[in-house]
Amino acid sequence: MSFESLGLLPELLRAVREKGYETPTSIQAQAIPTILQGRDVLGGAQTGTGKTAAFTLPLLQKLFSAPQAPGKKPVRALVLTPTRELALQVEESIRMYGKHLPFASMTIFGGVNVNPQIRTLKAGVDIVVATPGRLLDHVEQRTIDLSRVEFLILDEADRMLDMGFIRDIRKILALLPKKRQNLMFSATYNDEIRTLAESMLNDPVSIDVAPRNSGTQLVTHIVHPVDREKKTALLIHLAKTLNLRQALVFTRTKHMANNVAEALNEAGITAMAIHGNKSQPKRVQALSDFKTGRIRILVATDIAARGLDIVDLPHVVNFELPYVAEDFVHRTGRTGRNGVEGDAIALVCIDEDHLLRDIEKVMKRSLPRETIAGFAPNPSIRAEPLMKTRRSDGHRPQRQTSRSGQPLGQGQRPTASGNHPPMGSGRTGPSHSGGSSRPTGSTFGGRGQPRR
Ligand code: AMP
């Protein structure tokens, strides 16, 4: 299978060649011809499968084959993402794959000055990549017109629902023209996703690429049992003895991310924390320093790390296990990508035993344990309840155990049919005043500019 055989425009094939891709990934081979035919798609795929190109390439082609009259560009394609990091990455891909085509794209997300976004929208853009909250701010301010959207893409739909965006998504759907092509991607699948898919997609083609919930085969997992107070010391020990470089370390809270980064730096191991309280320029800087090797360790909360595409990341450390078992799969999916082996280390204290059990249930296997000399857990220490603090996006964690939804197993395909519980049951979707959606007064010059 070659990119040429997918029927892509020469301009897109050129961009793909320049990027160095030789063959389409599984999701690309399946999704590109389907999208070009004009069908809606429900894609079961996580970051790392090449899903961004799978929807971006045919989207650009479809936009190109139905050009607009001269004049101010209407917003013709809307991509919704759960986080600003993912929005930035997707928009970067759009620019890269579309570099030989005449489209303008932009990101819209909160936590940055709104004015550059307004100016860019006024000038006219074809493609908007947005997080839901700030997009709705623009709708309220009448600074964006969504009435001419032809393509809607919902990326990481499961995470959007986890973050409580369902009400915002429904509001946005109501603003779009009825006749449009819809694409929805999700790494996991449950009743809520199915309900949303049914209301959003029109006779979708389901495309499901493995592996997902079982974790990628290229990741070597290891669990180190340790007392809660000794985790930091153990992390420093491992960073030194294993000579960890380019390790992404996950914590449950922003506060812990800061503490861990500080302790690592004090121990002479360069580290930075990345989470929702950091300004956007700081987050971008931390990510860039991490990618270029200026810092060895990036300590992140789930929200900040979601969707980060760090190619060939060798190590992921779960300093604290996530409340939601599927998040463990997402976290460890940062490594073992693009055919490169990686390892996933989890530091687990007695308080987290039930979380580990949930994770093993979702992964359908037990993870090997190894006690490190000098860090064996003290058997007299009793389990304590985990602190349920506010999540970094300002919303409470929704569950302590795994999601109610069934993970997609191998060969199990998402469909848009079935019996559904009432929408949003038990959920209070945030107004878009939460976390990432309000301007903070900080500026983020240039990011709001269209890329032509
Ligand atoms: P994504 O799942 O869209 O986040 O993509 C994951 C990574 O795979 C990104 O670094 C892409 O640049 C890369 N990628 C996407 N498609 C291909 C391909 N056909 N061949 C090689 N790498 C690819």
Please count the other Cβ atoms lying within 10 Å of the Cβ belonging to residue 366.
13
Per the CB < 8 A criterion, the answer to whether 59 and 35 are in contact is yes
Which residue from 366, 355, 298 is spatially nearest to 326, judged by alpha carbons? 355
Q: Which of 85, 291, 338, 340 to mutate for ligand 1's pocket (most ligand atoms within 8 Å of CB)?
A: 338
Q: Cα(14) to centroid of ligand 1, in Å?
A: 16
* 43 in contact with ligand 1, CB cutoff 6 A: no
* 49 in contact with ligand 1, CB cutoff 6 A: yes
- The C-alpha torsion from 367 through 369 and 372 to 373, rounded to 10°, is -170
Residuewise pLDDT in 10s, the chain (452 residues): 789 999 999 999 999 999 988 889 889 999 999 999 999 999 988 777 889 999 999 999 999 998 777 778 999 999 999 988 899 999 999 999 999 999 999 999 998 999 999 999 999 999 999 999 999 999 999 999 999 999 999 999 988 998 889 999 999 999 999 999 999 999 877 788 889 999 999 999 999 875 433 444 578 899 999 999 999 999 999 999 988 888 999 999 999 999 999 999 999 999 999 887 777 778 878 888 888 889 999 999 887 666 565 656 889 999 999 998 888 988 887 777 656 678 999 999 999 999 999 999 888 888 999 999 999 999 999 998 887 544 433 343 333 333 333 333 333 333 333 332 222 223 233 333 333 333 222 222 233 333 33
Tokens for 184?
A: 């929805």
Ligand 1 atom 13, closest CA: 50
* 52 in contact with ligand 1, CB cutoff 6 A: yes
The domains of the chain, with CATH numbers, are 3-208 (3.40.50.300), 219-363 (3.40.50.300)
Per the CB < 8 A criterion, the answer to whether 197 and 343 are in contact is no
Hey, is 219 helix, strand or coil?
strand
* 212 in contact with ligand 1, CB cutoff 6 A: no
Ligand 1 atom 11, closest CA: 50
pLDDT computed for residue 312 by the predictor: 61
Which residue from 316, 320, 326, 329 is spatially nearest to 386, judged by alpha carbons? 320
Ligand 1 atom 15, closest CA: 50
pLDDT computed for residue 237 by the predictor: 96
Hey, is 57 helix, strand or coil?
helix
Give a three-class secondary structure readout of 368-407.
CECCCCCCCCCCCCCCCCCCCCCCCCCCCCCCCCCCCCCC
Q: Which of 1, 4, 12, 19 to mutate for ligand 1's pocket (most ligand atoms within 8 Å of CB)?
A: 19
The length of the chain is 452
| Predicted TM-score (pTM) of this structure | 0.59
pLDDT computed for residue 428 by the predictor: 30
Please count the other Cβ atoms lying within 10 Å of the Cβ belonging to residue 41.
23
